[in-house]
Amino acid sequence: MVLLDLQDHATMGDDLPLDGLLTKLASAGLSGPGPRIIARLGGADPLAAILSEIDETVLPRTLDFSTDAGRRVHCDVVGRRLLKVSDIVSPSPLPGQAALLGADLDASQGDAGDRLRAMFLGAMQGADILSVEAHMLGRDVAPGEVGISAALLADMWGFALDPDPPTDAAAVLGGFLSAIEQNVQAGIWMHGEEADSFGEEATLARLGPPVDLDAAAGELVAARIDPLEPAPLLATRMSGGDVRVIARFGDQVLVLLVNADAEADIAQHWRCLTGA
Amino acid sequence: MTETRTVMASLDALCAAVPGVETAVYMDMNQGTVLCASARVQVPQERLDTLCAMAATLLGQGEDREDEALILSATETLLLHRARRNAGEALGVVCAPGGDLANTLAQTRETLDSLAEAA
């Protein structure tokens, strides 16, 4: 992704038409709802991408890994640990499938790491794209289910888990804005001391009192679910029905007025782009 | 008591009917207390207290108060809706990411409608 140069319009209160602003964001990728692509042929290592997804999963979830070659591997995950491979869809059995499918995993099984690696590599065979979709785990986690941590699997497979989130805030927020463009009436994009605004003045005024970075960031802190992390996205429905959205990525914040009933679409696009 | 049972049944029905809904909470924002809760997993009291505080903060109490809030985090989605029958009460729904959020929003609003009719 390419960091966008907004310096030409980098004073508070500068107005840009939204399509003009979006033209500057040509490098920012669009994503639609549904599974999220985490690795492509020639890009990120798919095994590292799988481990990263497991490592980012704290609550009980089934991660549905799927490839464009038609194979799917469903993994039960909680607390950054892979509990079991709960389902496999493949035209032909994957390496180690019989032993892995449905079996409780734990680190004391000396060969579990090797089996999992071979199984995932088999699932990726002939595929160019690996995607993931998270679902709620449809069962209780038994007290004895300990699983194998993503960190341990990373050690076994020779990877270092990347603790740093993507940092190209301009490209991520640009991609988000492009994806929801048809629902956006007006907005302000704040980066550092500067801001770009778009939309009619009267519509912008409906965003509320003078918006600044600290105030918007403060609202996200008030909306935090994780006590240690401000919420990345907050959407509130206003009395007229329209929705005010605050989205933060890195040190940049978007404050938007969007059409009524667009929250679900907007949230879906945000998750697709950021994985959050 | 009958009213509490009605709310409880509605929360249970919401949790059961909508895939991805993990917890549904009916709150008194003025008192900062949970009136009823239905959850697929046990929810610590401090978590419920946090939901109450967030509802009071985000839905506000003034003239320009909001009616709904949607919050995303890395691991879940939180919906907060002001009750139609009493502006000081709210319904909170915690969902897993990856679910059908449009359906969850619609079902949550239907639950609020049914509670308003039952009041």
pLDDT tens, position by position, A203-228:
888 887 767 778 888 888 888 877 76
Q: According to the model, what pLDDT value does residue A1 have?
A: 24
pLDDT given at position A2: 25
A109 vs A97, more confident? A97
**β-strands A61-67, A129-136: how paired?**
antiparallel
Segment A242-268 shows an average pLDDT of 89
pLDDT tens for chain B, residues 1 to 119: 456 778 899 999 999 999 888 899 999 998 999 999 998 777 888 888 889 989 998 887 666 678 899 998 877 889 999 998 888 999 999 988 767 889 999 999 999 998 888 76
Which residues, 6+ apart, have CB-to-CB distance to A199 below 8 Å? A15, A18, A184, A185, A186, A187, A257
Other CB atoms within 10 Å distance of the CB of residue A123: 25
Inter-chain CB proximity A237 and B75 less than 8 Å: no
Beta bridge partners of B33: B28
The lowest-confidence range among A19-23, A57-61, A110-114, B96-100 is A19-23
Burial A239-251 (b: 16+ CB within 10 A, else e): eeebbbbbbbbee
- Where do runs of H (alpha helix) occur along A150-212? 150-157, 169-179, 201-205
Interval A101-114 mean pLDDT: 86
List the single residue in B with minimal CA-CA distance to A34.
B98
Phi-psi region of A247 (alpha: psi -120 to 50; beta: other; left: phi over 0): beta
Write the pLDDT tens digit of every residue in A222-250: 888 777 677 888 998 877 778 999 998 88
Mean pLDDT, chain A, rounded, equals 80
**The pLDDT of residue A170:** 79
Burial class (CB within 10 angstroms; exposed 0-12, middle 13-18, buried 19+) of A67:
buried
> Is B43 an 8 Å CB contact of chain A?
no
Higher pLDDT, A73 or A142: A73
Inter-chain CB proximity B75 and A59 less than 8 Å? yes
- Please list every residue in chain B whose beta carbon sits closer than 8 Å to the beta carbon of residue A237: 66-69
Q: Average the pLDDT over A102-131 and give the result.
A: 89
Does the distance separating the beta carbons of B99 and A225 come in below 8 Å?
no
Residues of A in contact with B22 (CB under 8 A): 136
Phi-psi region of A192 (alpha: psi -120 to 50; beta: other; left: phi over 0): left
Q: Per-residue pLDDT tens for A145-200?
A: 888 989 889 988 988 876 655 557 777 788 788 888 889 999 999 887 788 888 88
| Stretch among A19-33, A101-115, A128-142, A248-262 having the lowest mean pLDDT | A19-33
A61/B74 Cβ within 8 A = no
> pLDDT-based confidence at A104, cuts 50/70/90?
very high
What's the farthest any 2 CA atoms get from each other in chain A?
Answer: 65
Q: Which helix (H) or strand (E) holds A231?
A: none
Chain B nearest-CA residue for A206: B64
A125 pLDDT more than 70 = yes
Q: What is the DSSP string of A30-56?
A: P--SSSEEEEETTSS-HHHHHHHHHHT
- Checking phi first, is residue A241 left (phi over 0); if not, alpha (psi -120 to 50) or beta? left
- Of the pLDDT bands very low, low, confident and very high (cuts 50, 70, 90), residue A27 is very low
From CA A275, how far away is CA A8, in angstroms rounded? 31
Q: Show residues of chain B in contact with A222, CB under 8 Å.
A: 54, 57-58
pLDDT of residue A11: 38
| pLDDT in the model for residue A64 | 94
Contacts of B62 in chain A (CB under 8 A): none
Q: Report residue A20's pLDDT band, with 50, 70 and 90 as the boundaries.
A: low
A226/B75 Cβ within 8 A: yes
Instruction: Give the one of A57, A224, A267 whose C-beta lies nearest to B70's C-beta.
Output: A267
- Residue with tokens 């009395």, as numbered in its chain: A239
Taking the CA atoms of residue A183, residue A186, residue A190 and residue A194 in that order, the dihedral angle to the nearest 10 degrees is 150
Which chain B residues touch A61 with a CB distance below 8 Å?
96-98
Q: Is the pLDDT of residue A32 over 60?
A: no
Within 10 angstroms of residue B10's Cβ, the number of other Cβ atoms is: 21
End-to-end CA distance of chain A: 18
- The structure's pTM equals 0.61
Nearest to A249 by CA among A194, A172, A158, A179: A172
Pick the residue from chain B with its C-alpha nearest to A141: B41
A134, B71: Cβ pair inside 8 Å?
A: no
Asked if B39 is an interface residue toward chain A (Cβ–Cβ < 8 A), one would say no
**pLDDT score of A43:** 66
* Residues of chain A positioned with their CB less than 8 A from the CB of B41: 60, 140
| Residue B102 at interface with chain A, using a CB cutoff of 8 Å | yes
Q: Is A133 helix (H, G, I), strand (E, B) or coil?
A: strand
